[in-house]
Structure 1
Amino acid sequence: MRIAVQSAPFDAAAEIAGFGAGTNAGALVTFTGLVRDDSGRMQALELEHYPGMTERAIAKIAEEAMTRWSLADCLVIHRFGRLTVGEPIMMVATAARHRAAAFEAAEFLMDYLKSRAPFWKKEISPDGTCWVAAKASDEDALTRW
């Protein structure tokens, strides 16, 4: 299991090269999230976090996924700092013996990261800045877990 909270960009292909090797996994699932602009006016998204606290919170939920779905391996990368539209913001990878477990664990991790990971997001546009509020739909996604 590896958790990385970083400002630097990551290369998804390089991250998955060798992921799950030697684990006897039968399925690897990866997801990369990109910064998107729902308003059509966003210039950048700025993410803040508390170092140490964020990594511990993500590690705790990743450990839960490892146990709950008997994962062979798990990877979570989440960026912070100023990101522009289209840049990779996060990545989740899961390795499991069977595909259902790998998919479910990846979705569980993505839902958690979207709604509960301790990041504060601010949209930057020509009109100024605006903190991003939590969405009810993201909270609703957690109810299935």
Structure 2
Amino acid sequence: MMRTSIKITSQKLNLQECYNFVEDDACGGIATFIGTVRNDTQGKEVTQLDFSTYKPMAIKEMQKIATLALDKFDIHKIAIHHAEGMLQIKDIPVIITASAKHRKAAFLACEFAIDTLKKTVPIWKKEHFSDGEVWVNTHP
């Protein structure tokens, strides 16, 4: 049985797909984190975001995060999906879902996954403003 679903796509992310993957009769809780494109950063108007990835390494790192989450928390399954390409305000660049017998493990796994993803996965974000653009998250 597959316990992880990892995806990077230029297609619109699908919350139902993530939910369906982690859903299980043995699980009493499913937690979801959905990252959305907001319209400002540090007081500057954001018009859109552009996500670039080094896809082979990003998928490998996302799989590491999912495996760590399975080991660290008492979760049943986890899905980590990320978008690439140009996204508009309100679009969804990332969805993480985790299922567990009890809710706390699912919440903790989602928080761990998004925090670790932002630190270790080679996904770069270019913020487009009304008056210019800037790369952010230019690590790892």
Tell me the TM-score normalized by structure 1. 0.83
Match of 2:125 among 115, 121, 124: 121
Moved over 4 A (4+): none
The count of corresponding residues between Structure 1 and Structure 2 is 133
Q: Distance in 2 between matches of 1:92 and 1:99?
A: 15
Is 2:75 the counterpart of 1:35?
no
Q: Distance in 1 between matches of 2:18 and 2:67?
A: 19
Percent pairwise identity: 30
The 5 A counterparts of 1:69-108 are 69-108=73-112
Alignment RMSD (CA, Å): 1.7
What are the Cα deviations for residues 18-68 of structure 1, in whole angstroms up to 9, with x where unaligned? 63224x122111111101122442211111111211000010011000111
Secondary structure at the aligned position of 1:92 is classed as strand
Equivalent residue number for residue 3 of structure 1 = 6
Which residue identity is paired with 2:46? M
Question: Structure 1 regions of 5+ residues with no counterpart?
Answer: 135-145
Tell me the TM-score normalized by structure 2. 0.86
Question: Structure 2 regions of 5+ residues with no counterpart?
Answer: none
Q: Distance in 1 between matches of 2:45 and 2:130?
A: 7
Match of 2:113 among 109, 114, 129: 109
What are the Cα deviations for residues 65-86 of structure 1, in whole angstroms up to 9, with x where unaligned? 0111132100011111111111
Task: Give the strand-richer structure, 1 or 2.
Answer: 2
More moved, 111-120 vs 3-12: 111-120
Q: Distance in 1 between matches of 2:128 and 2:21?
A: 37
